[in-house]
Amino acid sequence: MISTGVHASFDTAALQAADAAHFLHPFSDHTGFLEKGARVIVRGDGIYIWDSENKQILDGMSGLWCVNVGYGRTSITQAVAKQMDTLPFYNSFFHTSNVPAIELAATLTALAPPGFNKVFYTGSGSEANDTIVRMVRRYWHLQDQPARQTIISRVNAYHGSTIAGASLGGMAGMHAQMGTVLGGIVHIGQPDYVHAGQGMTQDQFGVHAAGWLEDKIRELGPENVAAFIGEPVQGAGGVIIPPATYWPEIQRICDKYGILLIADEVICGFGRLGAWFGSTVLGIRPDLIAFAKGVTSGYVPLGGVLVGDRVADVLIQQGGEFNHGFTYSGHPVACAAALENIRILVDEQLIERVAGATGPYLKGAFAALATHPLVGYADSLGMVAGLNLVRVKGATVHDNVPFDAKLGVGMICRGHMFDCGVVMRAVGERMIVAPPLVMTCAQIDEMAGRIRNALDLTLAEVKARGML
């Protein structure tokens, strides 16, 4: 039978066979599983994970952008166990509540930017964005401006995998498989300097890319536009770090036309960019904030919406009952995990450390990796970073010669990263990391060393296969 436990040994082949036979994985091409079994992860500690062959791997992606306090936090385990013993579940519908959900709501609104005094809980980031679509449309109805229906998002945005989340998102591959994308959602370009900033400085490009929002609002008619949604830094779209001028200009445009601004902080929240919320770092004053992932460091699923006063006051004072909610909204066990996770972030001053020490150190490490012959561009902010693999390096980033996308050089590189003991994600030919916030400067050096080894192996392979 399949065994578990810290020191257990595993029958990898049997696990892989059972996995391939029965487990339909998210975002995975299952034809591949039949030839090469899944990598089975069996335990974690700090910034490391181990697979069923007992290979240690440095987790450069914090699981899936979420394990901010690292693996093996027994105080979270204890908080969860205690809550399960006391009250494993009760709902928060129909005027009932529970202690962890109350305490967490007070905690989150205290940590949030000014003007946020209400939380709506969900089970995930996707559900948070679904909730936001409902709230935004209800808000404009209550404001007697029902024509304001359209939500403007961006190409390559990721806002989740439910119908509303995927529709808000700008992933062409997801839209192509959906049949009908939810109506009333349109997309503008992403602030991707490498691919769209030719002939401009970063600052010029930031204002230029924000201008696409104003163009779209004028095209639609401002009286029809409900909201703009964006990740402060696009995550799954490839860690697209916008120029410093971008978000202040987006904010100015939203203010000018009275449009609600939604920050999807599912990745950027809870310290990732060196502040509780990425909005603070990038000059965004949102009306609604979606959160999930880092709120519990992924130990237990939880998401939610921080609702700013502008929207909350209307929904509460004019709206009556909001006909929306999830069985697990305000789940006491998930909220207990979040409270302990937040206590760790505070007590260990992890967010201050990202802002003042490890974030800048990671930036330096990626600047050094940019000297590698395969790397045409590298950047970072807080604890996210990315580098672009290029065939030929030019004098500027816009003179680089890219690889033919069909060669799949990013995926080749990702394979070498695993072999060199580091998880790095490939988005096309952009290689990205989002390490746990507990990572030290010494561990950043260790990660960068593994990345450099994998880049050398990738270079050797693309040379040998005539791809250069």
Determine, following the binding rule CB under 6 A, whether residue 159 of this chain makes contact with ligand PLP: yes
Residue 318 CA neighbour count, 13 Å, CB half:
14
> Which tokens in the block code for residue 130?
């679904």
The residues, any chain, with a CB within 8 Å of residue 46's CB and separated by 6 or more, are: 70, 71, 72, 436, 438
156 or 458: whose CB is closer to ligand PLP? 156
116 or 158: whose CB is closer to ligand PLP? 158
**Rounded distance, CA 179 to CA 68, Å?**
36
Footprint (CB under 6 A) of ligand PLP, residues 48-67: 65
**Rounded distance, CA 66 to CA 337, Å?**
13
* Given 243, 303, 308, 386, the residue binding ligand PLP (CB under 6 A): 303
**Rounded distance, CA 324 to CA 139, Å?**
14
Looking at residue 354, the DSSP 8-state letter turns out to be I
For residue 153, the cross-strand partners are 187
Determine, following the binding rule CB under 6 A, whether residue 386 of this chain makes contact with ligand PLP: no
* Given 158, 276, 299, 326, the residue binding ligand PLP (CB under 6 A): 158
- The closest of 271, 249, 302, 290 to 116, measured between CA atoms, is 290
> Which H or E run contains 140?
helix 125-142
Footprint (CB under 6 A) of ligand PLP, residues 160-179: 160
**Rounded distance, CA 139 to CA 120, Å?**
15
Give ∠ CA 78-82-90 in degrees, rounded to 5.
130
Strands (E), 171-302: 185-188, 225-230, 260-264, 288-291
* Least CB distance to ligand PLP at residue 330 (A): 16
* Least CB distance to ligand PLP at residue 36 (A): 25
* Least CB distance to ligand PLP at residue 168 (A): 9
Strands (E), 36-113: 41-45, 48-51, 56-58
125 or 286: whose CB is closer to ligand PLP? 125
* Least CB distance to ligand PLP at residue 357 (A): 25
> Helix (H, G, I), strand (E, B), or coil: what is residue 426?
strand
208 or 425: whose CB is closer to ligand PLP? 425
The residue number with the shortest CB distance to ligand PLP is 125
Q: Which stretch binds ligand PLP (CB under 6 A): 135-143, 262-270, 342-350, 398-406?
A: 262-270
214 or 265: whose CB is closer to ligand PLP? 265
**Judging by DSSP bridges, how do beta strands 425-427 and 430-433 pair with one another?**
antiparallel
Footprint (CB under 6 A) of ligand PLP, residues 264-293: 264, 266-267, 292-293
> Which H or E run contains 248?
helix 246-257
Footprint (CB under 6 A) of ligand PLP, residues 188-217: none
Tokens 């050398």, located at residue: 456
Footprint (CB under 6 A) of ligand PLP, residues 108-127: 124-126
128 or 194: whose CB is closer to ligand PLP? 128
Contact indicator for 122, 305 with CB cutoff of 8 Å: yes
Contact indicator for 305, 290 with CB cutoff of 8 Å: yes
**Rounded distance, CA 44 to CA 41, Å?**
8
The pattern of x and - marking residues 308 through 347 that bind ligand PLP according to CB under 6 A reads ----------------------------------------
* Least CB distance to ligand PLP at residue 146 (A): 27
* Least CB distance to ligand PLP at residue 266 (A): 3
Query: Is the four-CA dihedral 9, 12, 18, 22 of positive or negative sign?
Result: positive
In the chain, the amino acid numbered 436 is P
Tokens 């928060």, located at residue: 92
Determine, following the binding rule CB under 6 A, whether residue 153 of this chain makes contact with ligand PLP: no
65 or 121: whose CB is closer to ligand PLP? 65
The count of residues interacting with ligand PLP (CB under 6 A) is: 17
59 or 231: whose CB is closer to ligand PLP? 231
* Least CB distance to ligand PLP at residue 284 (A): 14
27 or 94: whose CB is closer to ligand PLP? 27
The pattern of x and - marking residues 230 through 259 that bind ligand PLP according to CB under 6 A reads -x---xx-----------------------
Contact indicator for 296, 302 with CB cutoff of 8 Å: yes
* Least CB distance to ligand PLP at residue 302 (A): 9
* Least CB distance to ligand PLP at residue 103 (A): 22
- The closest of 61, 83, 81 to 71, measured between CA atoms, is 61
Binding site for ligand PLP (CB under 6 A): 65, 124-126, 129, 158-160, 231, 235-236, 264, 266-267, 292-293, 303
